[in-house]
Amino acid sequence: MVLQTNLKHVASAAEHSELLKNNENVMICCGRMGPMCLPVYDIMEELQDEYPNVAFRDFLFDNPDAAVIRNLPEARSFMGLPFVIYYKNGEVVAAASSIQTREQITEILDREFK
């Protein structure tokens, strides 16, 4: 099962691992089709053309394999969906949760991936 977004989807822990291995810069939004998540997916869809050096993906929070995100130390204190994780060379460089603005997202993208 995957989310109904126009983003490419991560559907398994194996795909997550391959994604990190094959892409230097990755932003994954792990969530549901809910009111806090939809704006983040929309912003990510808009930013794909502006940041061609970043792999933008979604991952269904309720997928058992999404434990690779849910169980990250960086996500331990998160209270709201979505969980947004930024990876550089396979390592977590930033993490955020709950609804986010375009400005909050681009600030992290510019800081970590430029």
**pLDDT 10s digits, 80-109:** 999 999 999 999 999 999 999 999 999 999
Q: How far apart are CA 37 and CA 40, in angstroms?
A: 5
pLDDT at 78: 97
pLDDT digits (tens, 9 = 90+) for 15-34: 999 999 999 999 999 999 99
pLDDT at 20: 98
Please state the pTM of the whole predicted model: 0.97
Quick one: tokens of 78? Answer: 């998160």
pLDDT at 1 over 80: no
Backbone angles phi, psi at 34, to 5 degrees: -120, 175
pLDDT digits (tens, 9 = 90+) for 34-65: 999 999 999 999 999 999 999 999 999 999 99
Is the domain covering 8-113 a CATH 3.40.30.10 domain? yes
Assign 10 a pLDDT band (cuts: 50, 70, 90).
Answer: very high
Please confirm whether the linkage preceding 82 is cis (ω < 30° from 0).
yes
Assign 76 a pLDDT band (cuts: 50, 70, 90).
Answer: very high
Q: Looking at 7-101, list the stretches that DSSP marks H as alpha helix, in order from N- to C-terminal side.
A: 13-22, 38-47, 67-70
Q: How far apart are CA 113 and CA 64, in angstroms?
A: 29
pLDDT at 2: 85
- Please report the sign of the dihedral spanned by the C-alpha atoms of residue 47, residue 49, residue 52, residue 58: positive
Q: How far apart are CA 110 and CA 104, in angstroms?
A: 10
